[in-house]
Amino acid sequence: FDLVAEMIAEMLAERGVALFPEQAASFLTGILFALVLYFGSKLLLLLLSTVLDGVVRLPLLKQVNRLTGALLGATEAAVLIFGVLTVLQLVNAPDLILYEWIEESVLTKALYEYNPLMIFFAGK
Question: Tens-digit pLDDT profile for the chain (124 aa)?
Answer: 567 767 766 766 666 655 555 666 667 777 888 888 889 888 998 888 888 777 767 777 777 778 878 898 999 898 888 888 888 777 776 677 777 888 888 888 888 888 887 777 776 5
pLDDT at 1: 55
| pLDDT score at 7 | 73
Contact between 116 and 63 under an 8 Å Cβ cutoff? The reply is: no
The whole-number pLDDT of residue 74 equals 92
Instruction: Name the amino acid, one letter, at 74.
Output: A
CB of 90 closer than 8 Å to CB of 27: yes
Quick one: pLDDT at residue 67?
Answer: 83
Specify the amino acid at residue 56: V
